[in-house]
Amino acid sequence: MERRDFMQKAGWTGLALSLAPTILLARNKPFELPQLGYTYDAIEPFIDKQTMYIHHQKHHAGYVRKLNNALKGSALEGKLLVDILGQVTTVEENILQNAGGHYNHSLLWETLTPRGKELPGKTLKEAIEQSFVSYEDFLVTFRSAALGVFGSGWAWVCLGDDKKLFICHTPNQNNPLMRQVENTYGTPILGIDVWEHAYYLKYQNDRATYVDNFLKAINWEVVEQKYMEASK
Ligand code: MN
């Protein structure tokens, strides 16, 4: 039995963060907007309450609604999110962008923390040092990827097929799970949204300060958990 089938049959509901394997195993029946697990003002002062509210209740909710509509009657209807992302092509632009939007934001909410100031744990720290020499070098590369996105998109920390971490960026709501669309393939463990809707209310055109502050709000415990899941 495949792991994902086991998770389905074992009745996993995705309610408890510490037990949730990944949003990727959610099935379209239809997809639902996930809860944040914290209040809209919890990430202040790094990300403001109004941005969090609009981003979750308007943008993310819109991706979920449009994705469910786009999937109706398509060959990808009823599939797991991981399979939709892996199989969708640019021909199905509506499914592509909204499936990406749903996955990208679900991961984003999970990897933010109200507590802040955390550092990667031992396992993730060692993996980071193996791929980027040091945690500081890793931050420089991630920051520069986030600033390097022209227009709307995301910067990612991913685990590649070779089990090494790498950093990349993708346009729009694309992500490195889209094997039919992106050249660089991997499983994201952390992503930063650099669409203007993610920061413009508070930071206006100052993406650099937004990126610096985002880095102070990362839940490294969850990112490490994502790393260990992807490493299996
Ligand atoms: Mn967004």
Largest CA distance in the chain: 50
Strand order from edge to edge, sheet including 187-193:
165-171, 153-159, 187-193
| Alpha carbon of 130 to ligand 1 centroid (Å) | 30
Give backbone dihedrals phi and psi of 218, rounded to 5 degrees, phi first. Answer: -85, 135
* Tens digit of each residue's pLDDT (9 = 90 or more) over 20-58: 457 888 998 999 999 999 999 999 999 999 999 999 999
**Residues 165, 176: Cα–Cα separation, whole Å:** 13
pLDDT of residue 113: 93
| Alpha carbon of 133 to ligand 1 centroid (Å) | 30
* Tens digit of each residue's pLDDT (9 = 90 or more) over 196-212: 999 999 999 999 999 99
| Alpha carbon of 179 to ligand 1 centroid (Å) | 21
**Residues 195, 174: Cα–Cα separation, whole Å:** 12
Tokens of 81: 């999110």
Distance of CA 100 to the CA centre of its chain: 9
pLDDT of residue 22: 77
| Alpha carbon of 108 to ligand 1 centroid (Å) | 9
| Alpha carbon of 2 to ligand 1 centroid (Å) | 32
Coil vs helix vs strand at 165: strand
Output the pTM of the full model.
0.90
| Alpha carbon of 110 to ligand 1 centroid (Å) | 14
**Residues 229, 124: contact at Cβ < 8 Å?**
no
**Residues 210, 198: Cα–Cα separation, whole Å:** 9
User: Which runs of consecutive H residues, i.e. helices, occur in the chain?
Assistant: 3-9, 49-54, 61-71, 81-87, 93-110, 122-132, 135-148, 200-203, 207-214, 220-231
